[in-house]
Structure 1
């Protein structure tokens, strides 16, 4: 009988780089972004907010990161017919809004990334660019 599991987790160094890169990629798109990184246990590892980012985007970014970390899929991958049920069933913890992506490195899942501040399509572009710059596995944002 096994007494424990070993769970790979994103490092603070990588999470902080993701925040910095996401804010830079957002600026390049004309977006004042908020970037959140959660570990597989849905614990906050890093968060950053570009100067002037909309206040509500802090919460939206967090929910996108939690969704990606919880489901190991992009937040936009939630089937449309399940979005409302999922949001209500989790007390608003999860979301189907574009901009949340799981963090995989060489096929190993280590957490979730959430980008908010622009339109959902802009957030998805910034998330994909952040993954690429980090050297993470590509995921549909």
Structure 2
């Protein structure tokens, strides 16, 4: 056996034999699919009480889509809007309504609009558990930024295990 063939075999043997201890792994809370569905249902219900239909997207802590729910009466472009609102809220750890309002007053915040994945329209709210980000919810198509934001907040209120946003819904943006 030559060195080049022995090296991969040795690495595999080492990797298999190397013990993994629990303290070597980072353990983080996560939004489950069940919770994501509860959030989507609660957001849709809250908007329905306002006489509105919506699209809602729920992302996990890594920014991956867990659930998207679209009422057939809502335009399909709102699917991407809801996802991007959730992504923006997750990545900035700030409600998109707050970001949009800040961008109207501050050129530095306004520059966030130049990043292709961010969307500074109300309706995206980060999800946190004991202060740690675990995902985000995005609502679109509810008849305006205020409605979308209110329906996202109502969804979070329906899941008591999540931190409940305060009037200043999140930490400062970057």
Following superposition, the deviation at residue 82 of structure 1 comes to: 3.8
Give the drift of 1:68. Answer: 1.2
Query: Relative to structure 1, is the Cα distance of residues 96 and 123 closer, same or farther in structure 2, using a 3 angstrom cutoff?
Result: same
CA distance in 1 between counterparts of 2:109 and 2:141 reads 20
The 8 Å contact of residues 40 and 70 in structure 1, kept in 2 or not, is answered as no
Contact 2:59 2:87 in 1 (8 A): yes
RMSD of aligned residue pairs (Cα, Å): 2.0
Shift in Å at residue 4 of structure 1? Answer: 5.2
Work out whether residues 61 and 116 of structure 1, in 8 Å CA contact, stay in contact via their aligned partners in 2: yes
1:127 to 124, 143, 152: 152
Aligned residues: 138
1:43 matches 2:67:
no
Q: C-alpha distance in 1, partners of 2:113/2:24? A: 33
Call closer, same or farther: CA 1:4–1:87 in 2, change over 3 Å.
farther
Q: 1:105 aligns with which of 125, 129, 135?
A: 129
Task: For 2:98 and 2:38, locate their aligned partners in 1 and report how far apart those are by CA, in whole Å.
Answer: 25
Distance in 2 (alpha carbons) for counterparts of 1:103 and 1:29: 23
Structure 1 residue 94 corresponds to structure 2 residue 118: yes
What TM-score, normalized by structure 1, do the two folds share? 0.87
Partner residue, 1:137: 163
Secondary structure (helix, strand or coil) at the match of 1:45 reads strand
Question: Could you tell me whether the CA contact under 8 Å between 2:97 and 2:145 is conserved in 1?
Answer: no
Determine the C-alpha separation between the residues in 1 that align with 2:139 and 2:120. Answer: 13
Given the two structures, how large is their TM-score scaled by the length of structure 2?
A: 0.72
* CA–CA separation in structure 2 for the residues paired with 1:120 and 1:14: 24
Provide structure 1 residue ranges, at least 5 long, that are not aligned to the other structure: none
Residue pair 1:57, 1:117 contacting (<8 A) in 2 also = yes
